[in-house]
Structure 1
Amino acid sequence: MVSCITLNSTSRVVLASCRNAFTMVANLSLYGIAFIVFEVIRAETRADIENQYRWIAYLSIFIGCCFVGVFYLGTKEPRSKTGIHGDIHARISWTYWFLKILYYQVAIVYMLTRLVLNVSQAYLAFYVIDDLQMAQSSKALVPAIIYICSFIVSILLQEIAWKEQRLKAYYTAGGILWIFCGIAIILLPRSMSLFVYAISIFIGIANALMTVTAVSMQNVLIGQDLNGCAFVCGSLSFLDKISCGLTLFVLQSFHSKFTVIYELLES
């Protein structure tokens, strides 16, 4: 829908940054729901803990369904005034995109971007608790800092006039920033664990820079071929999910093997 709402490149980036900002709001809202549930329902047994997370799931699904309903009932889908070759009913074959080199370039960029964000998010809590041995509260505080910083940067990105060269520059900046954050995480000693909060600020900035520009690169690929934009977004999203699933599977397999070896050595 972002591609269909406007053909202006700057407006598309603004919409992508707005989308990313509200994604951060949704993530923070989940932490808010969890905080309320933990305060209202006190956990003394394993059954109480299960009940807490059950209510978190129920409330999150209910609120999510409400907003989905608002979207479907309150959002009018834009109609293309012009289509490919001037025919609004024309359809673009999915093979059309596989003949474009730009499709593969954008696919790699988008896949790697989502891979960095999703895998880091999946293991961040384990890193904070198991490796740095910080308090349980940091398991929520570190992601919250990342989301807040990402939200602020996403809002600021809406004020920029965008061109393709600027997309590349900002994406490169975000990627380099993430590389430095990754190096800092690897080298961070347990005695300096509090520095993870400072690293979280830069991770949030890097996440916003990379996500907004990667999504906007999809719109550059689509251009005015609006009747094929669903396949582009759907196929890249599918590639993102498959790659993340396989990566997490491989990492978890290696982690399990190393855990077994470590336990054998200890015994």
Structure 2
Amino acid sequence: MSSDMGDEESCTKPLGRCSVLFYGVGHMLNDITSACWFTYLLVFLTDIGLSPRAAAAVMLSGQIADGFTTIFAGELIDRFGHFKIWHGAGSALVAVSFSSVFGGCLLCKILGRNSSTLQTIGYSTFAAIFNVGWAATQVSHMSMVNCITLNSTSRVVLASCRNACTMVANLSLYAVAFVVFHVSTSKTIQDVENQYRWIAYSSIVIGCCFVGIFSLGTKEPRLKQGVEGKSCARISWAYWFKKVLYFQVALIYVLTRLVTNVSQAFLAFYVIDDLKMARSSTALVPAIIYICSFIVSVLLQEITWTGRRLKLFYSVGCILWMLCGAGILLLPRNMNAVMYLLSIVIGIANALMMVISVSMQSVLVGEDLNGCAFVYGSLSFMDKMSCGLALYILESYQDTSPNLHGCSSITSCFSVSRNGFGLIPAICAAIGLAVTSTMELNTTTSKLLMEPLLA
């Protein structure tokens, strides 16, 4: 009994910097491959000859596999635990399959044919495998937060550190992409494949290094076995469905992921086709976004958190994105340099929305530890399915012509990429703002919230 009380007391204390950092880097393989996936996959597939609809089908197959895996992974983790085993196995799948997606059509090479149908099937297969591994890693890593510590402020710190490491991973990707696009040409399809192959392989090497650091530095959480007696009984799904806050947090998280993922997927098309910027801008513009996001994520670690502050900061992020969406829709080609200024504001808005939306999940879970994986898994399922469908619908109407109809250098034209990068995220942010105003976030005791974010 005294040992359990000691464990519980130790788990309510603020986490040390090393513990936070070791946890934060555990998702960087997922982050760097995800940044490449959403920024370059559709561009890569259309550049090598697939139609926009076929490219969208590849993306959708991955999102569907990802969505269903999150549900099953969440349920199995709640039943059996072993976060680190799930994390390691998922990371291995990510590393192997991601190189196959950007390494060319393996199915075409095996069958000795190179038709569009075979390419679509081949890329879709490895896209699904990649997303299965990605989902297993994501759910295990996110659900560890509530089992590592009972301290509410430390949970926000873990989410903030994870988000900051996401920014570092993304910056690493865009730095690699910027170098590759500058030192190599893309005159043929083979050149294009070689460019993205270098980007993909570099991403895997960088990400795997950080997975190793996470595995060595992070211990399997003890709270899963139940520090408190009430934590031992597994929580049924119906328990969460009776909570209004579950549906509110789910909607907030889905809307936030739609904002970040849809805008990221159409950023490259927007800067190249709509604004006529150089191809290297597809690395430079998102790099600016993630630098600003990283800075804001670090600053958020210096704040003591209450439910009211969570709502306030999320609302600010929504308003900033709505303003950016309006700017993106109205920006003409002859003022494309303004895109760099918009990138700064987008980075700030993304950080506020992502850190707070993930922190809201921790508030929802609270100390109900044996249901936390289902919460993260189910919310991730809704996120993957909604993002996959949104990208499929938008990409299906994408114009592959480099010269968009009805556009000039001094007037903006409402293309699919412009709407996908500006209008859809702005609408989602507006809905998120409305939902946030109806939420009641009850964090745990104020004593815990007054602890410093990093001990």
Q: TM-score normalized by structure 2?
A: 0.54
Displacement of 1:257: 11
Once the two structures are superposed, residues 189-208 of structure 1 have per-residue CA deviations (whole angstroms, 9 ceiling, x without a partner) of 22211111111100000000
2:288 corresponding residue in structure 1: 145
Are 1:155 and 2:298 counterparts? yes
How many angstroms apart in 2 are the aligned matches of 1:181 and 1:142? 14
Return the match for 2:254 from 77, 87, 111.
111
Q: For 1:224, what is the secondary structure of its paired residue?
A: coil
> Could you say what secondary structure the match of 1:255 adopts?
coil
Residue 237 in structure 1 maps to residue 380 in structure 2: yes
Give the whole-Å Cα distance in 1 for the aligned partners of 2:218 and 2:228: 28
1:97 and 2:232 matched: no
Query: After alignment, is 249-258 or 85-94 more displaced?
Result: 249-258
2:355 is matched with which residue? 212
2:392 and 2:192 map into 1 onto residues whose CA distance is: 27
Shifted more, 124-133 versus 104-113: the winner is 124-133
**Residue number among 138, 149, 154 corresponding to 1:11 in the alignment:** 154
TM-score (norm 1): 0.90
Alpha-carbon deviations, 1:53-98, whole Å to 9, x = none? 2122122223322322332333102211884972443211122111
Q: How much has 1:41 moved relative to structure 2?
A: 5.5
> How far off its partner does 1:138 sit?
1.8
Deviation at 1:137, TM superposition (A): 2.3
Matched length: 262
Match of 1:130 in 2: 273
2:174–2:286 CA contact under 8 A, matched in 1 = no
What is the rounded CA distance, in whole Å, between the counterparts of 1:71 and 1:148 in structure 2?
A: 23
Structure 1 gaps of 5+ residues are: none
Q: Confirm or deny: 8 A CA contact 2:178 2:283 kept in the other structure.
A: no
For residue 78 of structure 1, give the secondary structure of its aligned residue in structure 2.
Answer: coil
How many angstroms apart in 1 are the aligned matches of 2:374 and 2:279?
A: 42
Aligned-residue offset at 1:238: 1.4
Aligned-partner residue type, residue 324 of structure 2: C
Equivalent residue in structure 2 for 1:191, among 334, 337, 341:
334
Distance 1:236 1:152, change over 3 A: same
Distance 1:225 1:193 in 2: 49
Aligned amino acid, residue 267 of structure 2: L
Q: Which has the higher contact order (CA 8 A, sep 6+)?
A: 1
User: 1:149–1:161: structure 2 CA closer, same or farther, 3 Å change rule?
Assistant: same
Q: Alpha-carbon deviation of 1:39?
A: 5.9
Question: Does structure 1 conserve the Cα–Cα contact (< 8 Å) formed by 2:181 and 2:195?
Answer: yes
Give the counterpart letter for 1:28 in structure 2.
L
Residue 46 (structure 1) shift? 3.5
Match of 1:80 in 2: 223
Q: Which letter does structure 1 place at the counterpart of 2:249?
A: V
Sort the Cα spacing of 1:176 and 1:111 in 2 relative to 1 into closer, same or farther, 3 A: same
1:180 corresponds in structure 2 to 323
Give the superposition deviation at 1:15.
1.4
Decide whether the 8 Å contact of 1:42 with 1:48 is kept in 2: yes
Name the SS of the counterpart of 2:398 in structure 1: helix
